[in-house]
Structure formats: structure tokens, C-alpha cells
Structure 1
Amino acid sequence: MKEIKNKQTPIITAHPNAPAKNDSPQVNIIKDQDRELKADEGEDDEEVLDLNKPTEEEGWQSHWPLLTALAILLVMLTLEFGFKYQPPFPFNLIIFSGAFLLAGYNVLGMAWRKAKHFDFFNEFFLMSIATLGAFSIGSYSEGVAVMVFYSIGEWFQDAAVNKAKKSIKALLDIRPDKVTVMRDGKTLVSDPKEIKVDEIIQVKAGEKVALDGELYSDAATFNTAALTGESKPDTKRKGETVLAGMINLDKVSEIQVKSLFKDSKLSKILEMVQDATARKSQTQLFISRFAKIYTPIVFALALLVCFAPYFFTDPYNFYQWFYRALVFLVISCPCALVVSIPLGYFGGIGLASRNGILFKGSNFLDVMTTINTVIMDKTGTLTKGVFNVQEVVTDGFDQKELVRVTAAIESNSTHPIAKAVVAYAGKALGDLKAKDVEEISGHGLKGVVEGKTVLAGNAKLLKKFNIAYPPEVDQLVDTVVVVAIDEKYAGYLTIADEIKEDAKQAIEQMHSLKIQTVMLSGDKQAVVDKVAKLLGLDKAFGDLLPDGKVQKVQEYKNAGSRIAFVGDGVNDAPVVALADAGIAMGGVGSDATIETADIVIQNDQPSKITAAIKIGRITKRIVWQNITIAMVVKVIVLILGAGGVANLWEAVIADVGVALLAILNAVRIQKIKLE
């Protein structure tokens, strides 16, 4: 059977400003005959499949030689065993030879091409020797059966690989090949690659967004399943980010383009997925090395089975032991391992991508099965990274009026906290304006609103103006905006980063998997402790600079922990690189962190961390099931074949059967639904 081979090459994800490598993402997936022809010309021994090309649906028509050979074999077996009739020599040789060539011309051709390069220890040469050997001793029907069923197994294997390939090719279908752009007051249909930054594009209901940008219309609802794995509709407001691959669910919407086609998040996602097949897991590397050692040993053992009995048995029957050696060769074919194992990892990568998780290589699927400690950043990872007003406390003033007055003052600042207050006030602010606004560095703002002098800032601001306030204000954990009106304390607003909806669930899931959870943050320790208590984290460290985070992760590594670090900011990139598995939040994450990470969570949900661990464990479990099944069956039938108990029929059924079983088991990964 054909071997799935992947180049072990480093993963290089394009930087947003880098030129596009090409417009046709390609993946090294499967060895085929054409690659051998290239080898004759001294070219690379890897075929590269273009995922942009439409997938050819191969029906039975394309396999007519194999089906003809199968029909001939069935007719001849019916005559032989049903009617006790066998055509005389040389007619039977001619008929079976025709069937043999129809079924095995590809295998024989591959064996010949490899032999010309002195590569004799491969499954093609092995099967050719076994079947030709069967013909040489007159076992025509068995020789044809070996080649027919071996080729049928290849057919099933090709179908499985195509199915796995389609799951990744489906990603390309979400990238539109045309877009409606507004130019000079007119709408034109254009290629997405020709659209420039800041141009306005139109997306009709049901259409896919082609480029990243900001919503130019007042509001629109999108299906983000292609990017996040979640089918929940997402309503965007004017100015909010819209990404390529989202589907517009309602009216015609206008989007202002903010990045070129090649720089969109979707293009980067596709590049990550295609590159993922280039990194082999340790299990794959082991099986590749094992196959290179295993096959020559099998040839040597087959020779021993054939000739060693000459020295121990009397009389020695060459044809009897030669037949047993042929059985030994057929059952020893390692195709079940070299096909199903890469296919299993390929399925794992596909399952992850459908759940909004991008593994940059199958090796990281293995790594995630060893993780016992997950260390997370706070802002943007466990929290939304967006400040919101949490509480409003007044002292002798109307709450709504306090918010309006404070927002009027804060509207003169661009600070994130000021923006949070203004957003909280919303329409209630109306056209209320502040006059004579003065910024007092490190303290806050002073101004006049509706003839009243207003102070809004931290507690130090009120101390500066000798305004008394309740002592409990100094004990508050969250960021506080303290307000005074006409030199009298009026109340305060607490500002905090909102915890993500599934953050607590994510921590509980990790604990259920016996994984230690740790949080690192640059925020003050009091804030960090509050979040840690709410979420149930095992450990939490605050007041950390980037080098402090690196030091903490190194301490855990030195203690023997296997670490996955999850972050989103530029300052998280060094820690992501240091961890055994670096995980980036891909939605709000920085480009530096996403490029450094081994795994990218597209929808920024912490619960996807446990999903990534589960997918790794599922993949590894199925891969080792295949290894165990293949090795146990092969060892049993090898022993039976060498002892003369198993014949060629049983050998080929065992070989093809275990290969198909392993392939079907590997394909099963793609249909698994995570809880």
C-alpha cells in the first residue's frame, strides 16, 4: 500500500508584511507513481498536492483494470472449486498472467523504478517478489489473489486519504474567489487579491466575507463557524472587526478592508493547517525508522525460512519451504503501519481544525498528551481584555446623574478606563459636555460640568484637594474611579476586566483531567488573587514583568512539570516559546504570539485548551490501537506461515484485512464529537 510521507521541515508562518509565498497552499500528503517518475529525473522524492485544485471523484470506472482482474479471478476460482475444472497449461498461465498484470502493473512498475535506484527493501518490491514467486511454483490463483486484494486495499486506502484531505480542503472553500467592491460610486466584481486596504466591499446575505476589515454598516450578524468552530451567530456593530470566512446572515453589509487578501487571518489559518502535515510526531518518526529496519530483516528471515531447513530436515523440499517464505513475505508487509499512523495524525489535525483549534504539527498532538500543568496569562486569556464598569456606589447623589457627570469628564480622555466609563453611560450621556477639563498626571481629571466642579480619578486625587472619603475605598481590589462634586465626595465606580464565560468551566475541566492550573499576570496581586479565587485556580502570581513570567515557567520546568502556556499578548511570546506546548489565543492574540505558538485557539475560548488535550489523547489512543492490532496479527500469522499452517490466501486476507481495519480506525477520528 502507498505510504503517507511528510517532510520534517520547520513551520514558518508568514508575517503580515511578508510577501505571499504563493496563492496555492499545498500539502505533502501521499506517495504516488508520479513521484517515482520524478525520482528518475533526480527530482525530490515527494509529491506535492495542490489543495486549490478541485478534488477528483474517482468512481469504479477509473479502476476498471483492477475490477477486470477481480472478475477473472472469481470466474477462475468458480471453475476450479465449483465445477472442478481447470484450464490446461498454458491457457491457465495466460489467463492468470493477464489478470495479474491488470491488477499489479502499478505495483510492479513502482518496484522496478525503486530497484533501479537500489531500493529493494520496500512494500512494492516485497509484494512483487512474493507474487512472482507464487507464479514460479505454479500457484497462479494465489499469486493473482495476493495482487488483487493488495490493490483493493490500496483503493480503500486512497479513499481514506482523500476523505482526510477533503476535510482540510473544505477550509479552502470558505475563502471566496470574488468580491463586490465599491469604486467611484459604482459596485464592481473583483478578485479579492486585487482589493486594497481601506476600500469598501459589499457582502450580500448568505455570502462569505473575503477580507478582514471593520464593519462600515451600522450592524450585521455573521456565522463564524468556519473560523471558530462555533455556529452561534455573532452580531457586529459599526467599527467592529469582521474577518474573512465569516458568513453574512442578514442584509447587505458594507465592510472597510483593513488587510490584504494574503494577510487575512483566514489565509494564515490555511497556511498553518497546510504546514501542520509537515511536522511528524515522534510515533511517526519511530514507525518510519522501524519500517526501514523491519523490511530488510523480513527479507532476511524469509530467506532463512526458505533455505535454513536444508540443514535440519531430510528430505528437504525446496518448493514447500519456498512457498512458506512467500507467505512470510506477504504477511510481513508493513503497509498497515505506514499508512494508518500518519492518517491517524492527519485526522487528529482535521478534528482539531473543525473545533477551532490549529495544531502546527502532529508532533504537538503527542505533546498535549503529556501536559500536566497549564499556565495561563490573565488578560485576554481568562478575561476578555476589555474593561467594564462593575459597580457604581454613590454617597448622597443620584446614581444615574453621577454616571453622566463622570462620563462627561472622562470623555476628554483616551485612557481605557475612561472609555469604559463613557461606554457604560451610553446614550444617557447625551450631549452633556465638560468645560475647562484639566488632566492631573497620575491622579485623574478636573473639570466643570453644568456649572459644578467635578473631580474624577484615583483616591490620591481627592487627597490632593483635601476631600474626605470613606476608608473602605482604599481597600477595594478593582480599579476605582473616585468622584467628587463641588469639593464633596460623591461616590465611586469600580472598573474591572470581565472574566470569559467559559473560563471557570475550562479550569474545572482541566482539574478533571488531573492538570494543575496556574495564572501569571502583570496586574497587582490583589486583582490576580480575586480572579484566581473566582475561577478556582491552583496558583496565581501577579506583579510580573515579561521576564518574571519566563522565570516562573522555567521554575516549573525545572521541577519536572510538562507545561502548556496559554497567552495572547506580545509580551507572552517568550513564554509561549519556552513552554513544552505554546498556545495562543488567535482571535485577539498578537501576530508575534500566534507565530511563536505551537497551537492556536481561534475563538479565544479557554475551554478549547481541554479540547486540544482531549484531541491529542484520542489521536494517540487510536494510533496505538492500530500499532497493537497490526503487530499482534502479523506476528501470529508470520509464525503460522513459517510453520506451514497458514497459506497465501490466509496471508493476504490477514495483511489486507488488518490494513483496512487500521485505516477505518484512523478515519474514525474525523467523526468523533467532543463532549
Structure 2
Amino acid sequence: MSAHCCDNENHQSDILDKKKSVQLKHTEDSHDDDDDGHHHGEQIASDQPVWIAHWNLLLSLFILTVVLVLEYAFDIKLPKLISLAVNGIAYLLAGWNVLDLAFRKIKRGDIFNEFVLMSVATIGAFSIGEYSEGVAVMVFYSIGEWFQDAAVNRAQRNIKALLDIRPDEVTVIRNGKAQVTKPAEVQLEEIIQIKPGEKVALDGELISDSSSFNTAALTGESKPDTKYKGEQILAGMINLNTLTDVKVTALFKDSKLSRILEMVQDATARKSQTQLFISRFAKVYTPIVFFLALAVVVIPYFFVGNYDFTDWLYRGLVFLVISCPCALVVSIPLGYFGGIGLASKNGILFKGGNFLDVMTKINTVIMDKTGTLTKGVFKVQKVVAQEIDEKELVRLAAVLEKNSTHPVAKAVVDYAGESVGNSVATQVEEISGHGLKGIVDGKEVLAGNVKLMKKFNVTFPAEIEQVVDTIVVIALDQKFAGYMTIADEIKEDAADTIKQMHALGLKTVMLSGDKQSVVDHVAKQIGLSEAFGDLLPDGKVEKVQGYKDQGLHIAFIGDGVNDAPVIALADAGIAMGGLGSDATIETADIVIQNDQPSKVVVAIKIGKITRNIVWQNIILAMVVKVIVLGLGAGGVANLWEAVIADVGVALLAILNAVRIQRINLK
């Protein structure tokens, strides 16, 4: 691992080589270990008992223990040839995989890596007669690698296990009968039944009157969530009380949970800047220490009067062993795995370790309003009609609004109820940031904000612009016909989230397409630093770019399709995963699965925790290595102390990294 290349393919090859060295199985094809382009799949430990899977290493350790007991406890010195044969067998048992990997890497032109380093150090020990020490270095090194890779595998499994909660079977209603089948075989529009206590297998729309669900596996929140007829149900939720019917709206492979799982798998392969730095550092560091070890052996010849080649070669070998940077190269990605896992446990999906780093640098949080700071659950408050019956006005608007997925449109359709009937709008045009235009029952209908009226030169009463609530203005055949006021509700944790952000020294800004009076009203209620309304998608982009030009590090939080461009522009793009559109979730770097803005504060804290632990490991490893390197070059430390220091530091760093997932942020 010390020779990890900075490009992704060589990084994947080194990981695959590492797994081979400790005899771990790959879940995919692993017969071609030299394939640098091998997929970075999940690594899992062997299903066999440890003593069978690692019999060679355990047997080598047993032989080493017997030899050491004979030599030091009973003062029995084995004849040189017997000692060489016994220790040689133990050495090959423990180190055959390492020697094999070293040889294959040398063939590929990769000379300066830990496998070659350990091979040179241990063969050198044998060449000067230090058989048991050579075996000990290889045994303890291999044991250390065994534990390191087991920890990496466990971290990867834990990340996936946090979300891989899809049931293997689902009950589907076909021809009036319930039958059990695999979720992947269920088609769109089919009806599935979820029994009390059963997990939902597919995304769908609730067709029962109501039901309560445990959404903890998706959102990190244990509080039951009651859903009502027509509301969205997601795979991974657990039905709590009554037998529930759900109409499937997404295939198994297209469910939000399946896509989240794919993102989690990809996340572990995306390196942070710290990981990239360590990879580059190891690539430079390893050849330097290799030549320094050579210098420790050669240079004293010209300056030391009683130069003893064997003594200085031994010191050079100690130098090689302690210089192995595996504590850094294993524990650092493990730290980021832990951060991603902790975030997943709290209902936050980081799409890569690099975004954990980004969140530690954020100083400005910019938010959309609807669906981000407010619930996005709109209800019609008032209808005002001019020269037309109120019910007819609502019906015409609802027929047109059926063609939009915007929460405001849904509120109009819900308010109209059954009066919409089978009417269909034609020539529908959605004008971003304005509203809808279409033909209903032979009439041209405009439904949207005042900007839509101005765009089509429709005259409307001036007092409409003074209304605080969200408003849908309606025109029929280019003539003002009335309006509806619609109110949204601020999320329970919005105000507290802004307070926490300010306590962290963050600037908070809201950008919205809603009118300025509504935006100002919400901003005042929750205490935002700044708020801007009447913004089209390009206006939001312009505002965010303006803040970036000031040198600020931006996190943008949104949920709608119109937020996707700004999310892509921000340093950290954050999507609300429940209400969020597919385009926004795909574009985002971080996904909040339960739509709570307070999770952004949690994400920042997780980023900082991860960074602190990673740097603790870097400092620990470097300090110990520098000290023991000095002692080794000075002839104070021996091979035993070198390997114990190397393996010990690696294990301490790994344990420190693993504890991230156990941190309780509540």
C-alpha cells in the first residue's frame, strides 16, 4: 500500500493485491490479480473459521514460538542448518504471499512498495544469520496486515449493512390473489401488500387510507411517520400497524434505496484530498527511505574506523522495517469509511470521502425555501374569482396544474378534488420560474406567479403583489380571472438549525423563486442572515457565483429540479432525498434522506470529527516512525522493536479510525 499510485486503476490494483496477501476472498472475479483495471468491489473476509483461513500464518507463528522458547527459555541452540531449515519453513509459510506480490510488482516496474521493502528486509536478516528475527518481522507484519484488512472489510460491510435493508420477498396482488415473489419481478402499477412489521420492498404510492412507518433505516430517525392515501412510500420503511396496500411507482433497480446503495458503493472509492496526498506522499516517501536505508549501510564505511558491514546492514534493515507507511495508507481511508458510515447511520449520504473534507471548510450555507426550510406541503387558503364561478376557476387551474410536480401545483389539484374529472390540458408549456400555460376546454389558461402575467402582458390588480402568502394568479384567454393564496409550513427544526449554524460561525442565505414578501417573512421567522426572492434558476446561479467570487466556501441545499444547476456549482451540493427530484439527488454531493435541514449541521460535525481522527493518525504514525528511525540508524533499536513499533502504530491508528462509527451525535 505504500506504493499506491495516485490514479484510480493502480489504487484498485494495490487494494486487490493487498487482499491477496492476507488471503481474503473477493466477492467478484479475483483470479487475475494483475488486472489493474479490476473493479473496486466490496471485499469480504473468508467464510471459513479464522484458524482454517489463516492456517499457514498460525503455523508459522507456532514454529517461531517454539524456536524462541528453545533458544531463550531453555538456552538450546539449534544447529545452523537445522535452524535455517526450520525458520525457512516458518518464513515461507508466513511470507509466501508477500514474496509473490513483491515479485509480481517488480515485474510491473513497481519497485518501491511495502511488499518489496519487507522482502528485502527479511531476506537481509536471513543473510546475516538473524533467522528468527527475519521470521518475526514477516509473521508480525502479516498479522498486522491481516487485522488491517479485516478492519477495512468490516468498515465497508458496515457501510453497506446500514442501508442494504431490502427484503428478498414481496407480496403482490395478481388476478385478485396474493402471491409471494421477488421484488425484482414486480412491474410498475402493480399492487403490493405490506404486513405489519414487514419491510417495504419497492417505492410506491399508498392506496390504503393511512399507515404508520418506521423510517429509521432510511433517515436515522426512530420516530414513526404516518403516511396517508396518495403519499409516497419508500423501500426500506417498516410498516408498523395495519395491512397496507401500495401501488408500485418504481422498479426494484430504480428505487431510491437501490440508487442510494449504488452511491454508497461508489462513495468508498472516491478519495479525499488527504487520501490523495498520502498516496502521493507514500509514492515519494518509500523510495527515499529505501535509499536512506542503503545510505545507513554504505556511508559509515567512509567515516567509521571499526566499520562492521553486518552491524550496519542490520541497522539498515531496521530502518527499512520501521519506514513502512502502512499505518498511514490503511488507517486514513479507513477513517473516511468510518465517516461515511457514521453519516449513513444518521440519515446522511456522502457520495465520497472528499466531501467530508469539503464540509470542514464551509463558511456559507445557502438554502432553497420550498421543501428545504419549509415542508413543501401547500394548502389553498383563499380563492378570489373575477367574472367566473370560483369552482370553475379552481377546476380549470387544477386541470392545467396536473401537469406539474411542483408542490404548489399539487396543492391546487388536491383542493379541486374530484371536480377535475377526466378533463385534460393540451399544448401544456411549463415556463421555469413563472408557471404553466395550456389549453383547457378550448380556453387558453395561464396559472403561475405575477411574473407569468407580466410575461404575457396580462393586466391584474396591483394589490395582488402585496399579498404575503404564495399566490397562483390565473388568466383565461389573456384576461385576468382570479387568484388563489397558498400557504406552506416552516419545518420544525428550521429555526434551531439556523441558530446552530450561526453558533458555528456560518453565514446563512436563502434563495427562492417565491416572491420577496414571502421570502422575507420566512427569513424573519427563522433568523436567516440574508434572503433573496423572485429568482429564476439562472438568478440563483448568479447569486451563488457572486458569493464564490468573494472567496466564500459554499454549501447549497435544495430539492427541486431548478436547484440542480446551483447544487452543481456549490463547493458542497446538498439534496433533500425525500422530496428531492431525481436530477437534484444525482447532481448533489451529499443527500439528506429525511429532508431535515438540521442534518446539515450533523454533516459538518461528522466532517470535522473525521478530519480530526485522520490527522491524529497521521501525527501518531509520523512521530513514532521518526523516533524509531533515529533509534534504528543509531543502533539502539533492533528488528523486534522495529516490527512491534510498525505493527503497533498501525493497529492503534486502525482502532482510532474504527471508533468513528461508534460516535453518538445525538
TM-score, length basis structure 1 = 0.82
Out of 106, 109, 133, the residue aligned to residue 118 of structure 1 is: 109
Partner of 2:423: none
Partner of 2:132: 141
Q: Is the 8 A contact 1:510 1:517 kept in 2?
A: yes
Out of 338, 342, 362, the residue aligned to residue 333 of structure 2 is: 342
Aligned-partner Cα distance in 2 for 1:530–1:655: 60
Q: Is the 8 A contact 2:514 2:533 kept in 1?
A: yes
Give the stretch that moved more between structures: 610-619 or 101-110: 101-110
Out of 73, 81, 88, the residue aligned to residue 72 of structure 2 is: 81
The Cα shift of 1:33 comes to 2.0
Aligned-partner Cα distance in 2 for 1:334–1:192: 46
Partner of 2:41: 49
Q: Is the 8 A contact 1:30 1:47 kept in 2?
A: no
Task: Look up the equivalent residue of 1:74 and give its one-letter code.
Answer: T
The Cα shift of 1:78 comes to 2.2
Out of 8, 11, 20, the residue aligned to residue 33 of structure 1 is: 20
Partner of 1:268: 259
Q: Is the 8 A contact 2:2 2:325 kept in 1?
A: no
Alignment of 1:226-241 (within 5 A): 226-241=217-232
Aligned-partner Cα distance in 2 for 1:294–1:417: 59
Unaligned runs of 5+ in 2: 10-14, 384-388, 402-406, 420-442, 449-457, 474-482
Out of 281, 285, 290, the residue aligned to residue 294 of structure 1 is: 285
The Cα shift of 1:624 comes to 0.9
Secondary structure of the structure 1 residue equivalent to 2:489 = strand
Task: Look up the equivalent residue of 2:325 and give its one-letter code.
Answer: P
1:255 aligns with 2:246: yes
Q: Deviations over 1:613-661 (max 9, x none)?
A: 1111111111111111111110110011001111111101110010001
Give the stretch that moved more between structures: 65-74 or 347-356: 65-74
Aligned-partner Cα distance in 1 for 2:140–2:162: 34
Aligned-partner Cα distance in 2 for 1:63–1:269: 35
Partner of 1:156: 147
Partner of 1:368: 359
Aligned identity (percent) is 68
Partner of 1:555: 546
Q: Provide the alpha-carbon RMSD of the alignment.
A: 3.5
Aligned-partner Cα distance in 2 for 1:515–1:306: 55
The Cα shift of 1:84 comes to 2.0
Alignment of 1:84-99 (within 5 A): 84-99=75-90
Aligned-partner Cα distance in 2 for 1:146–1:42: 26
The Cα shift of 1:61 comes to 2.9
Label 1:134 to 1:55 Cα distance change in 2 as closer, same or farther (>3 A).
closer
1:577 aligns with 2:577: no
Q: Is the 8 A contact 1:528 1:540 kept in 2?
A: yes
Task: Look up the equivalent residue of 2:328 and give its one-letter code.
Answer: L
Aligned-partner Cα distance in 2 for 1:113–1:224: 49
Partner of 1:166: 157
Q: Deviations over 1:153-192 (max 9, x none)?
A: 1121122112102212314641122211111122222221
Alignment of 1:269-668 (within 5 A): 269-388=260-379, 414=398, 477-479=468-470, 495-668=486-659
Task: Look up the equivalent residue of 2:104 and give its one-letter code.
Answer: R
Give the stretch that moved more between structures: 602-611 or 211-220: 211-220
Task: Look up the equivalent residue of 1:89 and give its one-letter code.
Answer: K
The Cα shift of 1:494 comes to 6.5
Greater gyration radius: 1
Aligned-partner Cα distance in 1 for 2:461–2:110: 85
Q: Is the 8 A contact 1:209 1:243 kept in 2?
A: yes
Number of matched pairs = 607
Q: Deviations over 1:86-115 (max 9, x none)?
A: 222222222222221222122122112222
The Cα shift of 1:440 comes to 12
Secondary structure of the structure 2 residue equivalent to 1:582 = strand
Secondary structure of the structure 1 residue equivalent to 2:54 = helix
Secondary structure of the structure 2 residue equivalent to 1:86 = coil
Secondary structure of the structure 1 residue equivalent to 2:76 = coil
Q: Is the 8 A contact 1:39 1:45 kept in 2?
A: no
Unaligned runs of 5+ in 1: 10-27, 393-404, 430-438, 445-459, 465-470, 483-491
Give the stretch that moved more between structures: 33-42 or 318-327: 33-42
Partner of 2:430: none
Label 1:550 to 1:41 Cα distance change in 2 as closer, same or farther (>3 A).
closer
Task: Look up the equivalent residue of 1:274 and give its one-letter code.
Answer: Q
The Cα shift of 1:81 comes to 2.1
Q: Is the 8 A contact 1:335 1:659 kept in 2?
A: yes
Task: Look up the equivalent residue of 1:581 and give its one-letter code.
Answer: A
Label 1:332 to 1:48 Cα distance change in 2 as closer, same or farther (>3 A).
same
Task: Look up the equivalent residue of 2:166 and give its one-letter code.
Answer: R
Give the stretch that moved more between structures: 75-84 or 412-421: 412-421
Q: Deviations over 1:389-423 (max 9, x none)?
A: 6799xxxxxxxxxxxx9899857852677975997
The Cα shift of 1:525 comes to 1.2
Label 1:335 to 1:564 Cα distance change in 2 as closer, same or farther (>3 A).
same
Aligned-partner Cα distance in 2 for 1:478–1:222: 32
Q: Is the 8 A contact 2:205 2:248 kept in 1?
A: yes
Partner of 2:92: 101
Secondary structure of the structure 2 residue equivalent to 1:302 = helix
Task: Look up the equivalent residue of 1:103 and give its one-letter code.
Answer: A
Q: Deviations over 1:506-536 (max 9, x none)?
A: 1111111111000011111111111111111
Q: Is the 8 A contact 2:372 2:558 kept in 1?
A: yes
